[in-house]
Amino acid sequence: MDTWHKMQLKLYSTCLFFLALDYSGFVMGGSEVENHLEMGRDFLARGQLQDALSHYHAAVEGDPDNYLTYFKRGTVYLALGKAKFALIDFGKVLELKPDFTAARYQRGVVLMKQASIEDARKELYNVYLANGDFSQEAHDLYSKLDGLAYDIQLVTYYEENKDFESAINSLDRLIEHCPWAPSLREQRSQLHINSGNLQHAIMDLRTATKLQADDTDGHYKLSKLYYSIGDVSESLKGIRECLKLDPDHKLCHTHYKLVKKIERLVVDSQSALNIKDFPSCIQFSKKALDLEKSTEHVRFLSLEKLCHCYQHTDEPAMSLKYCSDALDISKTADLYCMRAEAYIANSMFEEAIRDFEHALQINQEHRQASEGLKKAKQLQKQAERKDYYKILNVKRTATKQEIIKAYRKAAQQWHPDNFQGEAKKNAEKRFIEIASAKEVLTDPEKREQFDRGIDPLDPESGRHQQDGFNPFQQFHQFHGSPFTFKFNFN
């Protein structure tokens, strides 16, 4: 229920509260009933509505022929938003005392707010004819009923002509005067669905289920709507409400089994991601995708995690696949940044630059995108000059052990002792590059610098001279003197 209607209900309930107090002097029956009425009045005065309702229940049971006990209980029902039970009590009052205009007026008001236009017209007209208390109020409300009836016809006309926007505008006016009509909320919810505005559809349907205590179908529809936007947690809550009302509801039971499994897998995959258990994150996410093959926004929850988790494996190309699949469903700045990092892991710097730029178009203040764009541009320039990963033919996600193994293989292949003449000079140059790559990629600090687009061995910095770097000495650590070592491939 929106803020305006809450304020309206509060004001209306306050009026009923003082009306109930005005009639508190008309107490009939035995001392026990009088005691319950008195305690109910005290709780009502303090705003403790549930406690007041309990005592009015007891008063009605003690004196079922006292019209005022029904009237007071009806006012409390209204203050609690339980219009259905208030109508029953006001009807009982009029059975016991047909000329009690206060109850008839309240019935007319409730019927109008429920969009029962013809029934409200009858009650309010009789109050006006009585020419007593509430006569003017009844006349004022009665004069609005023709306009409300016309709006109801307009909604039907616009719906038939697929003019959803105009139908929604007419329902807006109706619901302003008839806030307790669940059918109008359901109707507007469906129109919002037809217009593609699922968030507004959910708001209306959620209010409709609150206005009807036994609305199993409403809870089912609400759960399906939440599921369609990927909110599996709220979907699970909604479907459980349906099963509370009807444990044997077939549609709710079928949907519950699916949502429960999906919700568990989504939670488990997120928990695995939180503790950096990337293989488990991938496992749970793939299971969720196998279960849900069509609802895009539910699949997005798993695709996004697969995009993230595969970046921390030796299969960065898989990260690209799932990032792209997720972006086909929802284009977010964070997701563009994740795919950009996957492009970097695959040495696709131009594509990474493009994705970081897309992220900044969505959010100019996105820090990761801003920093990532600078890094990607640096890496692109660096790659044009020297790429240590390519020199050793390893992935950017390679472990230290994998790098050392690749270094040994390359060093053996390009050791100058294997070449003669002019080829020896080229081999020496290649050997130096291989040793440089090994030095950078096996040193965590230098590798981190390189991954940020800074070459720690750039000649302009003079760092390799300062560090006393000697590529032949590097290889000697594994195989002895570089120019006297003879390879044995047997």
Grade residue 461 by pLDDT with cuts at 50, 70 and 90: very low
The tens digit of pLDDT for each residue in 68-127 reads 899 999 999 988 888 889 999 999 999 999 999 999 999 999 999 999 999 999 999 999
| Residue 376 near residue 352, CB atoms below 8 Å | yes
Task: Evaluate whether residue 91 is within a structural domain.
Answer: yes
Q: Give the pTM.
A: 0.72
Task: Evaluate whether residue 460 is within a structural domain.
Answer: yes
Task: Evaluate whether residue 106 is within a structural domain.
Answer: yes
Nearest to 45 by CA among 10, 20, 71: 20
Task: Evaluate whether residue 121 is within a structural domain.
Answer: yes
Q: Within 13 Å and on the Cβ side, how many CA atoms surround 459?
A: 3
Res 279 pLDDT > 90: yes
Element (H, E) at 297: helix 296-309
Cα dihedral 391, 394, 396, 398 sign: negative
Res 24 pLDDT > 70: no
Distance CA 306, CA 394 (A): 23
Grade residue 479 by pLDDT with cuts at 50, 70 and 90: very low
**Residue 1: per-residue pLDDT:** 46
The number of distinct structural domains making up the chain is: 2
User: CATH code at 474?
Assistant: 1.10.287.110
Domain boundary among 101, 119, 147: 147
Res 193 pLDDT > 90: yes
**Residue 368: per-residue pLDDT:** 95
**Residue 125: per-residue pLDDT:** 94
Domain boundary among 95, 121, 147: 147
User: CATH code at 69?
Assistant: 1.25.40.10
**Residue 20: per-residue pLDDT:** 47
Task: Evaluate whether residue 219 is within a structural domain.
Answer: no
Mean pLDDT score, 45-63: 90
Distance CA 364, CA 6 (A): 38
Q: Give the chain's largest Cα–Cα span.
A: 123
The tens digit of pLDDT for each residue in 361-394 reads 999 999 999 999 999 998 888 777 778 888 898 8
Task: Evaluate whether residue 436 is within a structural domain.
Answer: yes
Domain boundary among 119, 147, 175: 147
Instruction: List alpha helices for 161-295, DSSP H.
Output: 164-177, 182-194, 198-211, 216-228, 232-245, 250-274, 278-291
| Residue 407 near residue 434, CB atoms below 8 Å | yes
Nearest to 353 by CA among 370, 366, 367: 370
Q: 454 lies in which domain range? A: 400-479
Res 466 pLDDT > 70: no
Mean pLDDT score, 462-489: 42
Res 150 pLDDT > 90: yes
Grade residue 460 by pLDDT with cuts at 50, 70 and 90: low
In percent, the amount of the chain with pLDDT more than 70 equals: 87
Distance CA 292, CA 329 (A): 15
The residue with greater pLDDT, 332 or 480, is 332
Task: Evaluate whether residue 7 is within a structural domain.
Answer: yes
**Ranges 134-143, 263-272, 421-430: which has the least confidence:** 421-430
Mean pLDDT score, 318-322: 90
Task: Evaluate whether residue 26 is within a structural domain.
Answer: yes
**Residue 423: per-residue pLDDT:** 67
